[in-house]
Amino acid sequence: MRSMIREAAACVLPALLLAACAATGELPPAGAENADMHYRCAGGAEVDAHYYRDDHGRHWARVDFGDRSVVMVNVRAGSGARYRNGPDIWWTKGPTAFLEHDGKPVLQDCRAVAARH
């Protein structure tokens, strides 16, 4: 019984910590590898995406658009890179990207136009 509780805690606790960090909008720890990109989307929307890799090898993206900023962690994708925080998904493939909220498009046809330094 105790080993089952320990196994459950080992699986659940990291997920809770990750969700808490993403939900608060905190950035990954200092020292993470990073890259910044600027995108232009359909309708003229401008997006800055900040990509990070933390000391534990997790990949993150902070997507800034309008007055919103969403921090997401990299999750499995069949193709390209997908980042998620609850209902928000930022999906990139090559120079293109899009953002969904609850499965509905928020930003579409985004194209990388410049790297930010």
Query: pLDDT digits over 28-43, tens only?
Result: 444 556 889 999 999 9
Range 7-11 average pLDDT: 44
Range 81-92 average pLDDT: 95
* pLDDT of 117 higher than 70: no
pLDDT at 2: 53
* Ranges assigned E (strand) in the chain: 33-40, 46-53, 59-65, 68-75, 81-85, 88-93, 96-101, 104-116
Query: Of 110, 23, 4, 10, nearest to 72 (Cα)?
Result: 23
CA-derived radius of gyration, the chain: 16
Which domain does 15 fall in, by range? 2-116
Q: What is the pLDDT of residues 88-114, one digit of tens each?
A: 999 999 999 999 999 999 999 999 997
**How many folded domains does the chain comprise?**
1
Residue with tokens 């990299």: 74
pLDDT at 38: 95
Distance (Å, rounded) from C-alpha 64 to C-alpha 97?
A: 13
- What is the average pLDDT score of the chain? 79
Contacts of 104 (CB under 8 A, 6+ apart): none
State the pLDDT confidence band at 23, using cuts at 50, 70 and 90: very low
> What CATH number does the domain containing 99 carry?
2.40.128.200
